[in-house]
Amino acid sequence: MGDRQAAERTAVLSVSGLEHRVSETFRLGPIGFSVPAGQGVAIIGTNGAGKSTLIRLVAGLLRPARGEVLVCGTDSRRWGKVSRHIGYVQQAKELPDGVGVETYLRHQLKLRRAEASRLDELMALADLDEYRDQYVRTLSGGNQRKLHIISAVAHRPDLLILDEPTTGLDPAAQQALIDLLRGLKKEGVVVLFASHQRAELDALADSVVVLHQGRQVKDASLEDITRSGDRSSLVLEAFAEPDLDRLRSWAARLATTYEPIRSAHDTEGGVRVELAGDDHRGVLGEIVTRAHGQGVVLRSVSYSRPTLADIVRSVAGQDERGKVS
């Protein structure tokens, strides 16, 4: 108990025994996890698992039926006090017509009682200096999202909450947003975000909370989550029938003698090799080299990495099997 209390005292965010009735047929919880300064935590799960509800509970926008959310030791229900510790960015938030970027940000600083001198710093942080006089509604989707984020952190909160931060953005805009959020983490801000994208998870999460049908089925490090749900595979295809037979028999032997391979399964034109672990840079080259060494002529090699949905299904399935056993 002493270790838990010490952890809660040092955590920026501490969630314990959290429950909330969403409807007559759906209840969220119990949920419990804690996050120290400078860490990113992802909330993942299938559609309808309760991700957005949990986000709103942590943000203080919903009152829990049971349990508590503490941000820097302050209960989220004490909005007047806890709000200074929280920045919140909704998934889709409209910007006003006819308002310039600098004017909008000055207004946000005033609303949050932040020092006006923060304006130049925030503009530079989001790389928006060249857009100062441009209307906010004419910014690209990525720059609008960055404007929302710097507005949310104008008052220097300890916790930034986002709902699917890079959804709908092109790859360049996604990377720019991820770079911005990484910079905030380096300053000690906790970044809590709901996500359905593997790239967001890999780039921003230090830990992951997995929800399934309203229940928390896992709270673990990113490494542990990806390891438990990883089913990366390599598809090897042969040129012709003799090569195909040779490929399949060789792959079957390799699956029993080469540790990085979980299993090998025949496909229509070759074989699918399921890989163990999550770092396959050396493994891929080694498998291809071994194939050539055995006289196996390959027509194509393709690598498939599990999506976030694959990981969620795997982790949720492990939980269901654990309840039955």
pLDDT on residue 325: 32
pLDDT digits (tens, 9 = 90+) for 137-153: 999 999 999 999 999 99
Report if residue 195 sits inside a domain: yes
Residues 94 and 166 grouped into a single domain: yes
- Mean pLDDT of all residues in 160-170: 93
Query: Which range marks the domain in which residue 149 is found?
Result: 2-228
Residues 45 and 102 grouped into a single domain: yes
Q: How far is CA 257 from CA 250, 264, 281, 282, 284, in A?
A: 11, 12, 19, 17, 16
Lay out the sheet containing 261-266: strands in order across: 261-266, 270-275, 233-238, 298-304
Residues 79 and 116 grouped into a single domain: yes
Report if residue 23 sits inside a domain: yes
Nearest to 21 by CA among 68, 56, 53, 59: 53
Report if residue 43 sits inside a domain: yes
Residues 142 and 261 grouped into a single domain: no
- Mean pLDDT of all residues in 257-262: 88
Q: Are strands 13-21 and 27-35 parallel, antiparallel or unpaired?
A: antiparallel
We report the CATH number of the domain holding residue 269 as 3.30.70.920
pLDDT digits (tens, 9 = 90+) for 85-134: 999 998 778 899 999 999 999 999 999 999 999 999 999 999 999 999 99
Domain boundary among 203, 228, 253: 228
Report if residue 110 sits inside a domain: yes
- Mean pLDDT of all residues in 149-178: 95
Residues 289 and 155 grouped into a single domain: no
Instruction: Give the residues across from 41 on adjacent strands.
Output: 192, 207
Q: Which of 16 and 277 is assigned the larger pLDDT?
A: 16
Domain boundary among 205, 228, 251: 228
Residues 245 and 141 grouped into a single domain: no
Q: CB of 160 within 8 A of CB of 184?
A: yes
Residues 160 and 289 grouped into a single domain: no
| pLDDT, mean over the chain | 90
Report if residue 147 sits inside a domain: yes
pLDDT grade, residue 229 (50/70/90)? Answer: low
Instruction: Give the residues across from 192 on adjacent strands.
Output: 41, 161
Residues 52 and 116 grouped into a single domain: yes
Residues 243 and 204 grouped into a single domain: no
We report the CATH number of the domain holding residue 137 as 3.40.50.300
- Mean pLDDT of all residues in 210-232: 85
User: 197: exposed, middle or buried (C-beta count within 10 Å: 0-12, 13-18, 19+)?
Assistant: middle
Q: Is the pLDDT of residue 288 over 50?
A: yes
Strands (E) located in the chain: 13-21, 27-35, 40-45, 66-71, 74-75, 86-89, 159-163, 190-194, 207-212, 215-221, 233-238, 261-266, 270-275, 298-304
- Mean pLDDT of all residues in 284-306: 87
Instruction: Report helix, strand or coil for 163.
Output: strand
Report if residue 318 sits inside a domain: no
Report if residue 292 sits inside a domain: yes
Residues 202 and 84 grouped into a single domain: yes
Residues 81 and 177 grouped into a single domain: yes
Residue 37 CA to residue 35 CA, distance in Å, equals 7
Residues 221 and 254 grouped into a single domain: no
Domains in the chain: how many in total? Answer: 2
pLDDT digits (tens, 9 = 90+) for 6-56: 455 579 999 999 999 999 999 999 999 999 999 999 999 988 999 999 999
Report if residue 13 sits inside a domain: yes
pLDDT on residue 46: 87
Q: Is the pLDDT of residue 226 over 90?
A: no
Domain boundary among 170, 193, 228: 228
pLDDT grade, residue 262 (50/70/90)? Answer: confident
Q: How many other CB atoms sit within 10 Å of the CB of residue 214?
A: 22
